[in-house]
Structure 1
Amino acid sequence: MIEAIYRNDVCKFTQTENAERCDFLQFLKRTSMIEPCGSENEYRNNVHLLSKLCAIGYLVIGYKDLNNPRAVFCESGTRNGKTLFANLFKEISRMYIVQGKIGDPFLWSEMPEDIKIVLIEDFSESFKLETLFNNITGDWYINKRGGRHSFLPFSKSPKLILTSTQPLTSKDPSLTHRMWRLQFSDYYGQEHRVESDFGKLFYHEWDTTDWAYIWELIADCIHLYLRYGYINTDINECR
């Protein structure tokens, strides 16, 4: 469906006819329009798209790379598409969703052991991402009520998706080396909804053809991730 050549921080795509028919891919393209049209950095929008595609491959594939473990950090304003992106994995994988107080010492106590992805939605500004460092790079020790606990080795622990309305601004290497930053443009918002573009609610109103395109796209995402790995979208770091 989609192939990429990524060299010297420049990405060029080739696509089949199915790429135009895949609503989710068109959604990813529009939410990757970060740099203004006509600006010197407009070419970077292809890099933003490639980063999203590779992140999908990273989240879907079972293998966890001990040398480069990351949490996928989705940032945007309200209704810009980050949660819709994250919810794809609720449909195609085993996901556990965390809302509310993340500082709870029993945060993971109700999480089934076969969970593949954990989604932490719109955490508060006061939450320190450093709290999750062990969950990103190491084994999980899970406290349970009644003094019980369990253990998940790194190789079997879930991957993390974080969504936030606040950008990842810290330049602390300990943080940036653990985050896969995905930015979502303001193409969609309160006045312009995704369903108004495509005429259907994603996932819930998809038919078998829509899902066939998604699985074809996911196969390409895995291929792109295995080829390119983590894609950095920070202009200042790339230069």
Structure 2
Amino acid sequence: MITSLIQFHKTNNACHYELTQEGKKCQFLQFLINTSNFTWRKIPEEVTEEDKRQEASILLSKLCAIGYLIFQKKRPDVSRAVIATDYMNKEPGRSGKTLFVNFIAKFIQAEHIVGRFIDINNAFIWNDLSSQTKLVVLDDLPENFEFDWLFPCISGDWVINRKGKRVDMIPYPYSPKIVITTFSEIAGKGVSVDYRKWELPFSDYYNASHSPIDDFGKCFFTDWDIEDWKYAYMLIADCVQLYLNYGPVLTQEILWERKIEVEIGTDFVSWADIYFLNPSYLNQTISRKKLYDLFLKEDSTCRKYVSSTAFKQKLAKYCNAKRIAFSTQILDGTELFSFSKVIRNEEI
């Protein structure tokens, strides 16, 4: 499918995109590309094709989510809360989530609610919503928020208790959609929860020391000229078209891998990515000590914060995320590691 700014090629296990000449001029599209860049610390030679596919899928998911939130028609089978989450930043905020939400709110009527102060026992929590409200923004929700409390609002009629004992109801086809920003993963497990989440990961490309103004030389929205707004409207049109073409593009599997990356550290992941680039290493046995020494050879200071035990734990998490079968055995008092690739169903 060809759009005016960006062209995607998507199959079962691969996603690629190309920017048109017009697309290269759209600052907000470039901003979204940057927020989907989880490998910006790597040198180009270290970025794998799998990295590129994953980041393209994350970008497509964000563009489709914008289209979903903008598009007024609602369908029960795709009723979800869009959740913009930090997956790399060690400190809350500055990753671009708020700009993402504010961009959408420039085109439809939105009601913002400060998430960290939200009280689900407050009967008048939706008091300020009107029939014209098309988007409810729950900003900065805490980790312990009871996500299932939102189920009726996501997939049913929206009941609003007004002060003065008046009760309004917005029928499901006309009720607002929900977008959430959060620093940590929203609690909740199970099919019902997964069926109502559309999670969008934001990298740490933007952080406390690097903001969009450093890249683009202007504040989004307030400093935009007619040309900038033209490309913003073109992007909105593309997002709606992408959503209608692809529907919800979910990236839970990628998010899980990125979450593991945060847990074990980008330095370790970078080393392991390079090590396993050699396919022969996926079918060999190597002693734990030898592999640990190879890891330390890259940076001897790692010994201070990655013990041999921690190294094994990180390696096990890495292999689990990358679908590498990892097994150990003791032979003559030496612990040996073995690796082999796990074949995906779509690769058979």
Q: TM-score, normalised by structure 2?
A: 0.65
Change (3 A) 1:155 1:143: same
Cα deviation per residue 1:15-73 (whole Å; 9 max; x = unaligned)?
21111111100000010013575256402000000000101111111111111200100
Equivalent in 101, 107, 115 of residue 118 of structure 2: 101
| Structure possessing the higher radius of gyration over alpha carbons | 2
Shift of 1:11: 1.1
**Matched residue type, 1:86:** V
Cα deviation per residue 1:151-184 (whole Å; 9 max; x = unaligned)?
0110000000000000246442111110110000
Aligned to 2:14: 10
**Matched residue type, 2:245:** R
Aligned to 2:75: 65
Shift of 1:124: 2.2
Aligned to 2:185: 167
Aligned to 2:171: 153
SS at match of 1:45: helix
SS at match of 1:108: coil
Answer whether contact 1:168 1:181 (CA < 8 A) is retained: no
Answer whether contact 1:19 1:25 (CA < 8 A) is retained: yes
Answer whether contact 1:141 1:151 (CA < 8 A) is retained: yes
Shift of 1:138: 0.5
Aligned to 2:101: 86
Equivalent in 60, 65, 69 of residue 55 of structure 1: 65
**Matched residue type, 1:101:** I
Shift of 1:86: 0.4
Q: After the TM superposition, which of the residue ranges 31-40 and 202-211 deviates more from structure 2?
A: 31-40
Q: Which is helix-richer, 1 or 2?
A: 2
Shift of 1:89: 1.9
Q: After the TM superposition, which of the residue ranges 33-42 and 196-205 deviates more from structure 2?
A: 33-42
Shift of 1:213: 0.5
| Gap runs ≥5 in structure 2 | 87-91, 258-343
Relative contact order, higher structure (CA 8 A, sep 6+): 1
SS at match of 2:106: helix
Answer whether contact 1:140 1:153 (CA < 8 A) is retained: yes
